[in-house]
Amino acid sequence: MIAQVIINTTAKKLNTTFDYNIPENLQDFISIGTKVMVHFGRKKDLEEGFVVGIKEKSEYEVKDIAKLEENLKQEQIEFAKWMAKRYFCNVADCIKLMQTPGTTSKNKIQDKIINAVYLKKDIEEIEYDIEIKKIKSEKQQKILQFVKENEGATIPEIEMFTDCSRATVNTLIKNGYLETVEKKVARNPITNKEILKTQKLKLNVEQQNAYNKIEQAINEKHYEQFLIYGITGSGKTEIYLQLIEKVVKQNKSAIMLVPEISLTPQMIERFIARFGKEEIAVLHSKLSVGERHDEWERIKENKAKIIIGARSAIFAPIKDLGIILIDEEHDNSYKSESNPRYDAKEVANYIAKQKQIPVVLGSATPDVITYYKATETDEIKILELTKRANQSQLPKVEIVDLKQELINGNHSMLSRELYAEIEKNLKEHHQTILFLNRRGYSTFIMCRECGYTVKCKNCNVSMTYHGYENRLKCHYCGQESPIVTVCPECGSRKIRYFGTGTQKLEQEIKKQFPKSTTIRMDTDTVTKKNSHEQILNKFKNENIDILIGTQMVVKGHHFPNVTLVGVIAADSSLNIDDYRATEKTFQILTQVAGRAGRENLPGKVIIQTYNPQDFSIKTAQKQNYKKFYETEITLRKQLKYPPFCDIIVMRFEGKNENQIKALAIETYDNLRKMLENCKDLTLLKPMPAPIDKIQNRYRWRIIIKGNMTNDTNEILNNLLKQIYKEGKKDIRVSVDVNPNSMI
């Protein structure tokens, strides 16, 4: 018998299988999904591979499979094959997502093992031996007494508590009084804090209605997709909790996906408070490999039935899945922007269809595509919550026209309104959050004489000035350089800093309100594990007056004392070359607004903008999602953007500019011929990407607008295979469907 094996390397031989003979002694153990070790090429070490097919004969002369590793299920192989095709990537890369972290065959995370010490003889027998002085040593007696009272203690613990040495313990082991048993302990990333249990709340009418519809799908064991559309605080999470409870009662598991940034201890504690620690596993990118490995094992062994995690938790090795819940479903972190470029929402639907279970999406500002499917097709069933569950008030939102401020001679970053409100808030000892979409100090540096701008030498983008470090940084590759005081082009000293970032804002606040305390949160201050959390806790616990931050400050945190939120410039996200720019602006503004006044204190939001008439800003002011949606969907229909078609981006990257350009043009010509029969597709000419060089790699792209059908998928996959077969070194070609970023 011959096994068709996919080699687990990142080599670009897209999804090629290699034949290997299955030796007789392995025949009973090898099936589709088996992980095997094989000799590959001229390499000395064995390579890891996966059996993806089995056949009678091979037309080649083939080697034997060298040895066996762990098994994947056939359904997982099918799943990986589907993903590889859908997301234009290697099967092996998809399989990796489904495997226990920290287990490549060359490198295995060790289980954390402790040697637990137990009594080996009956306690009566031991006491008898002490009596007859067979055990004379006082130290030995002390140890035996301690182990009797603390079975399962470790040797270091025994040493510590009895003040005896390891040697004495070993003597007792040798003489058959004690034994050690290896025990696996789970490294558990969940806090050790005592958490009070909560009981389920009585659902209000809208919540109950939503719950019932989903419960019905669970009971009838069928696939169905739901959207719970309800403003923040309308009680979506309470519904999730009760659905999970229902599923766990049936002895099944639940996946709860949340955006990476919302995966805070407070959020997890809410689940622990309802279900206890034992049954919950948490998966996110800040865990150590060891922690991730152990969480994965707990899920595999069916000890943890409630899996809370970011995007990749969708691949957790769950035995009997009952429901998938995706909170803040509009968040773009669900779409992977690196290989494999999968969309966790789409993957969730694939899994749910296989297992015939419901998928529940939740959001206050649904993705326009989701809302379209939920209201204008029957792909998704909509369940609406219209009231805040705990009766708190929505904040007042005011829009300030920055153009008018300029006309009135105010060149500062703060409008007069915002200044007055901050001042008032400081007096009343309430907290303020200021939101700005750019980090750093100034976004670009230009020579006033000749127009020279300082650019990164690896990327075709402006360097950003960071005031605290007094250095220039590239936000795309991290390259740093000293500041420029003399223009390298013309020698002029008229170097000016333009644009604004979080650092500059903080400095300006300090200048205008010298007595205020501030804290800044952006990717420059958030680096180490948990640091994001530390900043927010500090802001909350030390009652710091003003939190200044980027995007990071807008997501699901709860600050009871925050009564003012200021958006410094709502326009920065409007100007990106992206069909989703207005949608992103709306989402960010509504979320920012939701940060103010969530408990007893009424809140106020001030949005500063140069485009006060823009519909995404106006609808965000009124927190009117439906109005926003109506305008946006009409525009997308007119301009032919998703959901009315897919945007397929084909990217070409490489060190040699001419080579990249030539390849893009050649591919375009091929595509034109291949897609001749697909009349509804629009193929746009190859162009340099908006940022045409990153990290010394030149970037070109081809955009295809149209529906991603099976035929188109097949054509593109074949084309990629062909490009890689020609094996041009150092070239990366990728295909991404509806990417988050068009850059």
Which one of the spans 86-94, 137-145, 171-179, 477-485 is the region binding Zn ion (CB under 5 A)? 477-485
> Among Zn ion, ligand ADP, none, what does residue 479 contact (CB within 5–8 Å per kind)?
Zn ion
What distances in angstroms separate CA 197 from CA 201, 271, 272, 333, one per listed residue?
12, 10, 8, 31
Q: Least Å distance between CB 489 and Zn ion?
A: 4
Q: With binding defined as CB under 5 A, does residue 444 bind Zn ion?
A: no
Q: Least Å distance between CB 481 and Zn ion?
A: 10
Q: Least Å distance between CB 261 and ligand ADP?
A: 15
Q: Closest Cα partner for 125 from 135, 139, 136?
A: 135
**DSSP reduced 3-state for 518:** strand
> Among Zn ion, ligand ADP, none, what does residue 452 contact (CB within 5–8 Å per kind)?
Zn ion
Which one of the spans 137-145, 197-205, 369-377, 712-720 is the region binding ligand ADP (CB under 6 A)? 197-205
Q: Which is closer to ligand ADP, CB of 458 or CB of 624?
A: 624
Q: Least Å distance between CB 389 and ligand ADP?
A: 3
Among residues 169, 310, 459, 607, the one that binds Zn ion under rule CB under 5 A: 459
Q: With binding defined as CB under 5 A, does residue 486 bind Zn ion?
A: no
Q: Which residues contact 39 (CB under 8 A, 6 or more apart)?
A: 46, 47, 63, 66
Residue bearing tokens 């035995």: 319
Q: Least Å distance between CB 270 and ligand ADP?
A: 8
Run of H or E including 564: strand 562-567
Binding residues for ligand ADP, rule CB under 6 A, total 15
Q: Which is closer to Zn ion, CB of 66 or CB of 484?
A: 484
Q: Given the DSSP bridges, would you call strands 518-521 and 546-549 parallel, antiparallel or unpaired?
A: parallel
Q: Which residues contact 186 (CB under 8 A, 6 or more apart)?
A: 112, 294, 295, 297, 298
Q: With binding defined as CB under 6 A, does residue 195 bind ligand ADP?
A: no
Q: With binding defined as CB under 5 A, does residue 66 bind Zn ion?
A: no
Residue bearing tokens 């997301």: 87
Q: With binding defined as CB under 6 A, does residue 203 bind ligand ADP?
A: yes
Angle 240-532-348 from CA coordinates, rounded to 5°: 35
Q: With binding defined as CB under 6 A, does residue 209 bind ligand ADP?
A: no
* Strands in 402-552 per DSSP E: 431-435, 444-447, 464-466, 471-473, 480-482, 495-498, 518-521, 546-549
Strand partners, 518: 546
Among residues 5, 389, 433, 664, the one that binds ligand ADP under rule CB under 6 A: 389
> Among Zn ion, ligand ADP, none, what does residue 237 contact (CB within 5–8 Å per kind)?
ligand ADP
> Among Zn ion, ligand ADP, none, what does residue 236 contact (CB within 5–8 Å per kind)?
ligand ADP
Return the amino acid letter for 292: R
Q: Least Å distance between CB 522 and Zn ion?
A: 18
> Among Zn ion, ligand ADP, none, what does residue 230 contact (CB within 5–8 Å per kind)?
ligand ADP
**DSSP reduced 3-state for 733:** strand
By CB under 5 A, the residues from 373 to 392 that bind Zn ion are none
Is 535:519 a contact under the CB 8 Å cutoff?
Answer: yes
Q: With binding defined as CB under 5 A, does residue 359 bind Zn ion?
A: no
Q: Least Å distance between CB 480 and Zn ion?
A: 10
Q: Closest Cα partner for 418 from 497, 502, 504, 512?
A: 512
By CB under 6 A, the residues from 121 to 180 that bind ligand ADP are none
Nearest-angstrom CA–CA distance, 446 and 287: 42
Return the amino acid letter for 447: C
Note the helical H segments in 546-606.
Answer: 581-593
Binding mask 229-258 for ligand ADP (x = CB under 6 A): -x-xxxxxxx--------------------
Among residues 116, 477, 581, 742, the one that binds Zn ion under rule CB under 5 A: 477
Helix axes 710-725, 74-86, angle to 10 degrees: 80
> Among ligand ADP, Zn ion, none, what does residue 450 contact (CB within 5–8 Å per kind)?
Zn ion
Count of other CB atoms within 10 angstroms of residue 404: 12
Q: With binding defined as CB under 6 A, does residue 576 bind ligand ADP?
A: no
Residue bearing tokens 């080699």: 7
Helix axes 581-593, 625-639, angle to 10 degrees: 170
Q: Which is closer to ligand ADP, CB of 132 or CB of 205?
A: 205
Q: With binding defined as CB under 5 A, does residue 113 bind Zn ion?
A: no
Q: Which is closer to Zn ion, CB of 123 or CB of 450?
A: 450
Q: With binding defined as CB under 5 A, does residue 420 bind Zn ion?
A: no
Nearest-angstrom CA–CA distance, 5 and 517: 61
Q: With binding defined as CB under 6 A, does residue 594 bind ligand ADP?
A: no
Nearest-angstrom CA–CA distance, 684 and 701: 9
Q: Which is closer to ligand ADP, CB of 384 or CB of 428?
A: 384
Q: Least Å distance between CB 233 and ligand ADP?
A: 4
Q: Least Å distance between CB 235 and ligand ADP?
A: 3
**DSSP reduced 3-state for 667:** helix
Q: Least Å distance between CB 289 and Zn ion?
A: 29
Residue bearing tokens 């001419």: 658
Q: With binding defined as CB under 5 A, does residue 165 bind Zn ion?
A: no
Helix axes 74-86, 344-355, angle to 10 degrees: 140
Is 325:243 a contact under the CB 8 Å cutoff?
Answer: yes
**DSSP reduced 3-state for 295:** helix
Q: Give contact residues for Zn ion (rule: CB under 5 A).
A: 447, 449-450, 452, 456, 458-459, 474, 476-477, 479, 487, 489-490, 492
Positions touching ligand ADP (CB under 6 A) are 201-204, 207, 230, 232-238, 389-390
